[in-house]
Structures are given as C-alpha cells and as structure tokens.
Amino acid sequence: MSAYYELVALAGFTRARPDYAIDSVEIDGAPVAIEERGVHWTPFCRLLRFRKTGGEDDPKILLIAPMSGHFATLLRGTIRTLLRDHQVFIADWINPRNVKLEHGGFSLEDYTQHIIDFVRFIGEDWQNAVQGRADRPKGDQDNISSDGRGREGWKDDICAVGQTLAAQDLCSGLKPYMKTHHLQAGVGHYGVFNGRRWDTQVYPVLRNAIQSSR
C-alpha cells in the first residue's frame, strides 16, 4: 500500500513538471552518482537517458511512460531500481498544454512512430519496458516488454489480470518460447513497478530475464 499512496501523492494535479531528482543510487551499500541527460527531442517528447558512473556498458532499457494524465516523473522509483544494472532511457512526454498548435495533432500512429524512432536512436543491445498506455487505443499493453515478458499484479484494480497475456497473443511475430508471464502476488497496479515488492520480487525476475537474453 505504501507504493500506492506514494504514487497517488505524486500524481496530484499540477501544471509544473516535478524533477526526477535522481542524483545517486545505492549499490552494494554505497552511493553511485547518476547522470540525467536529454538525448533526443521532438515537439511532443523528450528522450532522457539516466546512467550511473561507470555504467557505459550496462544494457539499455527503454521505459515508455504512460500517457494517462500525469508526468513521466511518476516513474522515478522504477528508474532508481533499474539503474542498479542498466542504462535507462525514458520517453518523457511533454505536457500537451505546452505543445504549439503549429505542430499539429498526435495520433496513435504518431505515438508508434515515436517509439520506433527512439528504438532506432538507442541502437543495439536494448530492452523495452512498457509501463503505461496511450489512452488505451487498442487494448491494454501495461507491463509487457518487447520480447514478450508480461508482468501483472494479482490485486490490480486498474487493469484486469490476464490483459498482458492477451497482449502477448497479439505479438504473432514472437516464438512461443519467448513469451513469459509473471503474476506477482500481493500487489496492485502500481506495486508491479514501484515499491518494496517491485524492488525485491518483480525486478529480479525482469533483470534475470534480460541478462539471460543477452
């Protein structure tokens, strides 16, 4: 519940984008400095990279923040955990009120093209972790990665259990052995990617799957 209350507090209505405020992470009991840098921009999104000192060769993760009415900084806890073993790239969507009308609309096709462009920019040796949705245009894709690893919370009251399995069925280009599913007991929607159980139970499953696929 602590993860849920923290995220609800952070998701309060505000016109000002909070900072990520990730200056360091603790690894093996010692703080390690973190660099946050913008590496790619469009009128609708900033692609940010977080990397720890000495982490230039760490595997890359592309974190797709949800487009559901709050800032991508809501995922700072997710980023902190991922930084132990990875470089983290996050799609930091710009508040629509700050996008000039001259840039036009933003459709599902535009969203998809952004992700494709980000993948091409990052290059090889990357993994994808989808943490949200673009207003759920074609079903829910919460918590499913690019190679078919699905994660769900047993107590999820936002996305019914089984939706990541359904999303896997849409991934017809993946071999069956590449599709795995993890149902985490004792957590709801937010606990799958933030809080104690994410940190100690969900993340190790994700990390080990990434390491085994390299």
Q: Per-residue confidence at 144, pLDDT binned at 50, 70, 90? A: very low
Q: Is the pLDDT of residue 128 over 80?
A: no
Q: Per-residue confidence at 142, pLDDT binned at 50, 70, 90? A: very low
For residue 143, what pLDDT is reported? 46
Average pLDDT over residues 40-56: 95
For residue 106, what pLDDT is reported? 93
What is the reported pTM?
Answer: 0.74
Burial string for 160-196 (b: 16+ CB within 10 Å, else e) reads eeebbeebbeebeeeeeeebeebbbeebbbbbbbbbe
Any idea which residue has 């609309």 for tokens?
A: 105
Lowest mean pLDDT among 8-17, 49-58, 157-166: 8-17
For residue 187, what pLDDT is reported? 67
The model's pLDDT over 87-127, given as tens digits with 9 standing for 90+, comes to 999 999 998 888 999 999 999 999 999 999 998 999 866 66
**Going from the N-terminus, what domains does the chain have, and what CATH number goes with each?**
2-213 (3.40.50.1820)
